[in-house]
Amino acid sequence: MQFIRSEHRCISFLFLLSCLLSCSSAYNYLVVLPTSVRSHYNVGSALAKGLAAAGHQVTIISPFETKKPHQNITEIAVPSILEAMKDSVENLLESSNQPILTQLVYYYDICINITKTLLDDPSVQEFTKSKQSFNAVISEVFLNEAQFGFAEHFNAPLIGLGTFGAISWNTDLVGSPSPPSYIPHALLKFSDHMSLVERVGNLAFLTYEEIFMNLYYLPKQEEVYRKYFPNNKQDFYDMRKNTALVLLNQHVSLSFPRPYSPNMIEVGGMHINRKRQPLPKDIEDFINGAEHGVIYFSMGSNLKSKNLPLEKRQALIETFGKLKQRVLWKFEDTNMPGKPANVFISDWFPQDDILAHKNVTAFITHGGLLSTTESIYHGKPFVGIPIFGDQFLNMARAESNGYGVTVDFKELTTEKLTNAIERIISTPETTQKVLDMSARYKDQKELPL
């Protein structure tokens, strides 16, 4: 029975891969992007737009909407997810101060709520009653297992999209091993060269997560699955293991070595602009007029700079005011008391195009996977101020490779941040290392998309 299932999965994988790569026939895809994290949506929408540009029909379920509608893309907006996540996003800093085991339970509970919210949305309810057919269902894998039920509901194979990169949530779907001796959990700060104590800690954390998932989390997802897909004949646990293909937002040059099953494919960087687009005139002029270059600072789409504690915000203002470089700061309030003259604030920046600008010398980031990937692609060293999730792991990789410096948010001071910035800007080896990494990353026979 196991052999038959593996053989079926392999055939499905090969069929799906040929469908994805083929432009000669038009296929119909359902893309489910449930999270309220804008960067995750950017990865999924890049895939959806790529499929649409190749002539395929794509339906997207997401809390966000594309800025430029495409004739081959149908959108089902679920803004109720953003409303449901509002309090959690605003309390992000507070929750990040909790012990790691408490954070794990918190994240899982949040995602169960997101799963319910999407499936309960009237527009999604109406959609599930439609008689549409799809060649495949592509679903982000982000603690939303009940939503995988769309695949059987529409009689289509399931493709997982790991916006987080490889993690137990998606490796378990296709049986990829994750040896705890050299593959750290994404929420821990370890590298692939762990000490004995770190390996024991990694194993203990993975064991705790496994027990928690099987005794608490997955049964709750099963309840949601049975409620919203009552006609699905597949058992919830069998359904999880019946994933035909997983696409990973990762690349071998950027991550630690690890084993993959044949149907886990790295496609990291789908969202990156290969050609820099023109910047808004005020931003372009600000960057071009910087004699000593520009530093770009953003804490991502979820954590807002305006919500930072006053002492941390003041440390940032004092640091930036002392720099000879100009600073672009993603700040969500036009009123910033004490804003230095060399700082340009805005609630939105075209990050990818800014990092591509030759006059931008460094990036200060929260350490998210998309931000660090973009920075590496464009050859810019970075200072990371990780807050939650995989940001610590991403910065551990950057530090071990020599093109990133971590500043602990709890210990963030003017002196420590200034020293970190000086280290990456004044050390030629740091820039050279990220340029070398960028060259390896770009050395691909085919683009990820």
Question: How far separated are the first and last CA of the chain, in Å rounded?
Answer: 35
Same domain, 9 and 97: yes
Q: Which two tokens stand for residue 370?
A: 């998309």
Mean pLDDT value of segment 87-92: 64
Same domain, 285 and 261: no
- Please return the burial class of 123, using the count of CB atoms within 10 Å of its CB with bins 0-12, 13-18 and 19+: middle
H/E segment holding residue 328: strand 326-330
Mean pLDDT value of segment 216-245: 94
pLDDT computed for residue 93 by the predictor: 63
Is the per-residue pLDDT at 21 higher than 60? Answer: no
Is the per-residue pLDDT at 305 higher than 80? Answer: no
Is the per-residue pLDDT at 99 higher than 80? Answer: no
Greatest mean pLDDT range, 92-106, 148-162, 173-187: 148-162
pLDDT computed for residue 131 by the predictor: 84
Average pLDDT score, the chain: 88
The domain boundary residue, chosen from 243, 266, 289: 266
Mean pLDDT value of segment 200-222: 94
Q: Is the dihedral of CA 356, 64, 33, 95 positive or negative?
A: positive
Same domain, 177 and 220: yes
Q: Is residue 384 assigned to a domain?
A: yes
pLDDT digits (tens, 9 = 90+) for 113-126: 999 999 999 999 99
Distance CA 225, CA 231 (A): 10
Same domain, 251 and 104: yes
How many other β-carbons are positioned within 10 Å of the β-carbon of residue 326?
Answer: 23
Q: Smallest Cα–Cα separation from 406: which of 201, 250, 189, 99?
A: 189
pLDDT computed for residue 7 by the predictor: 46
Which of 18-27, 162-171, 309-318, 361-370 is least confident? Answer: 18-27
Is the per-residue pLDDT at 323 higher than 90? Answer: yes
**Number of structural domains in the chain:** 2
Look up the CATH number of the domain holding residue 88: 3.40.50
Same domain, 245 and 358: no
Residue type, 385: I
- From residue 335, alpha-carbon distances to 35, 306, 338 in Å are 30, 10, 9
Q: Which two tokens stand for residue 127?
A: 């959609």
Same domain, 329 and 399: yes
The domain boundary residue, chosen from 219, 240, 266: 266
- Tokens 């690349």 sit on residue: 251
Q: Smallest Cα–Cα separation from 318: which of 182, 164, 212, 421?
A: 421
Is the per-residue pLDDT at 1 higher than 50? Answer: no
pLDDT computed for residue 22 by the predictor: 54
| CB hemisphere CA count around 392 (13 angstroms) | 15
pLDDT computed for residue 2 by the predictor: 41
pLDDT computed for residue 13 by the predictor: 60
| CB hemisphere CA count around 41 (13 angstroms) | 20
Mean pLDDT value of segment 321-350: 90
Q: Is residue 274 assigned to a domain?
A: no
Is the per-residue pLDDT at 66 higher than 90? Answer: no
Mean pLDDT value of segment 303-307: 76
- pLDDT band (50, 70, 90) for residue 300: confident
Find the domain containing 353 and state its range: 281-442
Distance CA 21, CA 376 (A): 27
Q: What three-state secondary structure class fits 30? A: strand
Look up the CATH number of the domain holding residue 334: 3.40.50.2000
pLDDT digits (tens, 9 = 90+) for 410-422: 889 999 999 999 9
Same domain, 253 and 205: yes
